[in-house]
Amino acid sequence: MSGGSTPGGGRPSRRWLKAVIVSLLIAIPAGYLVISAIQSRNGGEDKAAAASAKGLEAGYPTRVQRRIYDVPVPPYSKKVAFYETNSWKVSSLYVQFVTDRDGLDSFLHRIGTGRSALDKGKVTITGDQAKKVGWQVGEAGHDWAGMELKQKDPQPKLRITVKFDNPAHPKVYVVSTVTP
């Protein structure tokens, strides 16, 4: 008999080759799934950290953002900046701007309220919300006023705090929260 033939005269059995191929067909996709899961988990954490590190973005929010979150920033406002957060449970838009008296009145009117709804000395933006974007609302020695505008779902809930240190040009801070 020659060195590679089988007793029946056919090809030699290569069970080891079949075993290697089957194990590779199982191991490669399983390894890919494990690596993909690790990257996906780390990617979400990295994105959240990068987003929070970015902070406020100078400029007006898009028209769509202003409409969804019900934040009609008055025209000709100065020092406008915004930051948006999104999750499965809640989405928020943080907006700050400096306007004049008419601009503040226009803003409040467009969201369905007026200056009389602002409670003098009240800061409605929470410490956690302020910390998220680096706001220092509620500091002593400033003239604050604020209000909460709670609306029926799916309308956003607005927390508005105004700094009246310069009454001719109040600085407005808004956190608008939408719960889908």
pLDDT tens-digit profile of 10-54?
A: 676 788 888 888 888 888 888 888 888 777 776 555 555 555 556
Residue 54: predicted pLDDT:
63
Task: State both tokens at 40.
Answer: 């996906």
Model confidence, pTM: 0.71
Dihedrals φ, ψ of 41, to 5°? -65, -45
Residue 53: predicted pLDDT:
53
Per domain, the residue ranges of the chain are 14-54, 55-178
CATH node for 55-178: 3.40.1000
Instruction: Give the pLDDT band of residue 140 (cuts 50, 70, 90).
Output: confident
Residue 20: predicted pLDDT:
85
Q: 91 and 177 in contact (C-beta within 8 Å)?
A: yes
DSSP state of 33: H
Which among 175, 148, 170, 174 has a CA at the least distance from the CA of 104? 170
Least confident of 13-17, 69-73, 134-138: 13-17
Residue 79: predicted pLDDT:
95
Task: State both tokens at 124.
Answer: 């409605």
